[in-house]
Structure 1
């Protein structure tokens, strides 16, 4: 499957969009954007223009399995079945007998060492990868401590949301420049890596060098979900404007029956009002002037609308109390009719509810502009989880490790992908009507979040166990894709000067206070004025300088 990336680069939304341990049937895990990597020499800034183009690998797409639902306008292709026979993307064993240590995050139970899954994959690789998986909930602290020392694994995974403080600088000082191995035509030695889209590689440039091995993400990965089975029973009509959304909330909220229309929809409310939601770089051009999101009329309109939902009492009280962890439970139990989440939940909720509630029919609302017109949707960052290779490895060891990574990046419909994602047939999964079904042992051992974190293939939607989900999911993305545009600094790894680190902190609480009725929308004006005087205007000039020298990421 291909859990897709939510817009908010956080561990919480990553976990919300998929069961990481169950991992993907296709196209990798949900991806989140890094907040930026160091530019030349680890200093703040960005790499762009001709310098960036000279670094990037050549894009050589491959097509080993024709999708049932082709992608359109950049949307992810859909696969409703497992191809038979499976294709081969890597001839022979890519390894040369080496042994490599790997450090990755993991959420859930750590598999036993030397289990049948590791043994099978390592045998296919022709090398031995020994994992040191770390608790994903405390991974940032662990990464920081490890990178501060000298005992660093041969390959290390770092999610974008963990790239805080000195970790970005450590990426530049501790990890290898992969440009000599992958830039331009050199990547053709590794066909599966060459199949990774350029945008994902663009986000893998840290300190002016190609250092990261990316996990690509889809063009849009956050939606307002609703249950068609429930809305059909209510005779409800889907809203197509902000006004209709509010009216829907008023009509179908019934507090006496403990049913509210909405959970917290803030991320998608911003999309409805044409804003780039919670992402690293919020700037846009108004004429020839850079304008921050918090300065725009659209931001105030979005806050005012979110406040209207609060005042109408159509948002679940627990959502108002920021009990985000229970959002899925509120939704699946009928406590809310619509909720906002990463699109990776589509398959997860469908499979979870299949036995408990056979009528469960999950759909995503087609997004619209506030006035009911065509929406302006900003593309999600093209990658957000990266792996890095220890710079102290000799050339031949780096080349062998890249060959292994090429194997783990094999696309859906290949023998390599099937092994990485499911393990050994008969041991870790069985086939029922051509659909792979995990065994208990497979659930425990075959956690592709380990190998798959090294690098992933392009995002696709492939759930042979739930073909109807594929049709709905792929269809929804295809309908949204024509409205997607790239934000100004799309795909650029930008490191802001440390002196601006706390500049936005007051807005995190302020926007919640406004939406929850504790403060007025007009209170944003004073906060913005303070922001400008405290460094906002200086930061604007800093970004303008990047735009002039490096160009945009579009």
Structure 2
């Protein structure tokens, strides 16, 4: 697995959630501000290292698996061969009540069928002993649903909140306190031994699951630090004797060469995040960095952002973006790229690579998806956005009986089984003969698997991160880790690493409206001359307040 708004803290799959504003009343005032109100809440910061005594004790499972390719941290290790012998890691069914578990998770692409029509869900639920009933929401608009749900104070038993969406929900820490169970006493120290899969998670991932000085969620550790990559259809480039571009001039020249509306081929899906990265726009905490005098500045204020905005606006103006995507949020971009070849360069999370190659090579054996190595458009080494923060968090509804919370944690624990276990094979590949076929290299998914398996159980769990094996794309692991190990050398340093930030509510509430205004500029609906006014509006509506918070929350070593 691996996907985000146009900032860096976005995601690990092709996630592009846009937040909406909901309303709710809680003791002491509104939880989420309504559209007619200025959101209250000045934000806050906590040093996560102060709460080490609340974290679970790390303990590895003895599965005796040796990686074939070592990742340069935070890139995980890779496995090219599926284990020949699988372990039954969990002997007892985790579900004991038989009472249905409700859960909400995101999906990108067509929604999978529900349990009544899904052999996959039926098989996993049978192993769990207590059925999980998923509400699947469109990942592109997942934050809208989250805000409405939190505003209504109506949450399921298990709720997946992607890490990049946390950044956009006003007063999220207050919502957590009101709506979700405190898991500290269930999981801290040796208490986690009751859930041995959870004990294998990296300690840093647990650290990020702290809110309000308590352990409030189960993290889903990242299996790769990069939110974005720019992919190309190398098979289409090869047909035209074109090489993968190595700099911005080559990319833009090639974009004009491959765009041919008469043949229904365009160069790009929306690629603004990557265009920003090529120009070394800051990405930490969604776009912050420190100036030479030590004061924080946001990406909108930088000349690099202005350059990137101008380049992307010209890409749109020159007609190099697929017209079906110009007026949309890009929900069909992956299909236009990987299936039909109507898009030649596609921005997506790194995890997009293997899944798209595996699915679409069945109908197009020549398909060859490859990443374009990140380059600098301004000289010197490239800058690569990324972090090792969790992909997502699983929250448990507040107010459930202790026995029910423990049952839910056992279910999460089962779903978190690592590579080398029977549980992980069922979770990832479904039922042999239905969802996968056995090969010497491991299970290979069938068409039914691609229809029914949409990472439902992945998004209510986590696991000690690994990459591969990929039996249906056996050569991809080496390429993926070679790219990742090369790019990680240029990973941007985050001045606020180790600090949990709750950004001011006005700042969070204004993120999407401001991003929408820049989208209007990119797509020619507003002139570039409006940028200064947009930035001034951002400063007045939470930007300056956020700067003060960030300045005061810098770790002492960074002052």
Q: Distance in 1 between matches of 2:514 and 2:277?
A: 18
Counterparts of 1:466-505 in structure 2, within 5 Å, are 466-490=473-497, 492-505=499-512
Q: Distance in 1 between matches of 2:447 and 2:246?
A: 44
TM-score by length of 2: 0.81
Q: Distance in 2 between matches of 1:367 and 1:194?
A: 35
Residue 423 of structure 2 is aligned with which of 416, 419, 422?
Answer: 416
Q: What SS class does the counterpart of residue 553 from structure 2 fall into?
A: helix
Q: Distance in 2 between matches of 1:45 and 1:171?
A: 15
1:241 pairs with 2:241: no
Q: What SS class does the counterpart of residue 363 from structure 1 fall into?
A: strand
Q: Distance in 1 between matches of 2:326 and 2:366?
A: 29
Query: Per-residue deviation at 1:272?
Result: 1.1
In structure 2, what is the equivalent of residue 69 of structure 1?
Answer: 69
Q: What SS class does the counterpart of residue 132 from structure 1 fall into?
A: strand
Q: What SS class does the counterpart of residue 427 from structure 2 fall into?
A: helix
Aligned residues: 527
Residue 297 of structure 2 is aligned with which of 280, 284, 291?
Answer: 291
Q: What SS class does the counterpart of residue 219 from structure 2 fall into?
A: strand
Q: Which moved more, 1:335-344 or 1:148-157?
A: 148-157
Cα pair distance change 1:204/1:31, threshold 3 Å = farther
Residue 5 of structure 1 is aligned with which of 3, 6, 20?
Answer: 3
Gap regions ≥5 residues in structure 2: 22-27, 32-40
Cα pair distance change 1:485/1:280, threshold 3 Å = closer
Question: Would you say the 8 A contact 2:430–2:449 is kept in 1?
Answer: yes
Q: Which moved more, 1:157-166 or 1:330-339?
A: 157-166
1:309 pairs with 2:315: yes
Q: Which moved more, 1:361-370 or 1:168-177?
A: 168-177
Cα pair distance change 1:530/1:438, threshold 3 Å = closer
Query: Per-residue deviation at 1:370?
Result: 1.1
Counterparts of 1:345-494 in structure 2, within 5 Å, are 345-371=352-378, 373-380=380-387, 382-426=389-433, 428-438=435-445, 449-450=456-457, 453-490=460-497, 492-494=499-501
1:527 pairs with 2:534: yes
Deviations 1:154-205 (A, max 9, x none): 4333445387357653321232222223234443443321222233223322
In structure 2, what is the equivalent of residue 203 of structure 1?
Answer: 208
Residue 350 of structure 2 is aligned with which of 333, 343, 355?
Answer: 343
In structure 2, what is the equivalent of residue 131 of structure 1?
Answer: 132
Q: What SS class does the counterpart of residue 307 from structure 2 fall into?
A: helix
Query: Per-residue deviation at 1:480?
Result: 1.0
Q: Distance in 1 between matches of 2:149 and 2:544?
A: 37
Q: Distance in 1 between matches of 2:195 and 2:300?
A: 43
Q: Distance in 1 between matches of 2:54 and 2:18?
A: 22
Cα pair distance change 1:62/1:284, threshold 3 Å = farther
Q: Distance in 1 between matches of 2:149 and 2:309?
A: 41
Q: Distance in 2 between matches of 1:9 and 1:93?
A: 43
Q: Distance in 2 between matches of 1:326 and 1:305?
A: 23
In structure 2, what is the equivalent of residue 111 of structure 1?
Answer: 114
Q: State the superposition RMSD in angstroms.
A: 3.9
Cα pair distance change 1:171/1:430, threshold 3 Å = same
Cα pair distance change 1:9/1:284, threshold 3 Å = closer
Q: What SS class does the counterpart of residue 249 from structure 2 fall into?
A: helix
Question: Would you say the 8 A contact 1:104–1:450 is kept in 2?
Answer: no
Query: Per-residue deviation at 1:368?
Result: 0.9
Question: Would you say the 8 A contact 1:7–1:222 is kept in 2?
Answer: no
Gap regions ≥5 residues in structure 1: 18-29, 36-40
In structure 2, what is the equivalent of residue 38 of structure 1?
Answer: none
Residue 231 of structure 2 is aligned with which of 225, 230, 235?
Answer: 225
Q: Which moved more, 1:422-431 or 1:458-467?
A: 422-431
Q: Distance in 2 between matches of 1:512 and 1:152?
A: 32
In structure 2, what is the equivalent of residue 176 of structure 1?
Answer: 181
Counterparts of 1:249-260 in structure 2, within 5 Å, are 249-260=255-266
Deviations 1:421-476 (A, max 9, x none): 23443455431344324567766766651475133442523311111222322222
In structure 2, what is the equivalent of residue 93 of structure 1?
Answer: 92
Cα pair distance change 1:220/1:106, threshold 3 Å = closer
Question: Would you say the 8 A contact 2:48–2:207 is kept in 1?
Answer: no
Question: Would you say the 8 A contact 2:102–2:156 is kept in 1?
Answer: yes
Deviations 1:256-276 (A, max 9, x none): 544333332111111111224
Question: Would you say the 8 A contact 2:124–2:427 is kept in 1?
Answer: yes
Q: What SS class does the counterpart of residue 502 from structure 2 fall into?
A: coil
Q: What SS class does the counterpart of residue 159 from structure 2 fall into?
A: strand
Q: Distance in 1 between matches of 2:463 and 2:197?
A: 9
In structure 2, what is the equivalent of residue 20 of structure 1?
Answer: none
Q: What SS class does the counterpart of residue 430 from structure 1 fall into?
A: strand
Residue 268 of structure 1 is aligned with which of 269, 274, 278?
Answer: 274
Q: Which moved more, 1:422-431 or 1:231-240?
A: 422-431
Q: What SS class does the counterpart of residue 344 from structure 2 fall into?
A: strand
Cα pair distance change 1:282/1:182, threshold 3 Å = same
Question: Would you say the 8 A contact 1:269–1:302 is kept in 2?
Answer: yes
Q: Distance in 2 between matches of 1:451 and 1:308?
A: 39
Deviations 1:293-316 (A, max 9, x none): 111121112112223434554444
In structure 1, what is the equivalent of residue 158 of structure 2?
Answer: 155
Q: Distance in 2 between matches of 1:106 and 1:221?
A: 17
TM-score by length of 1: 0.81
Q: Distance in 1 between matches of 2:118 and 2:343?
A: 42
Question: Would you say the 8 A contact 1:6–1:14 is kept in 2?
Answer: yes
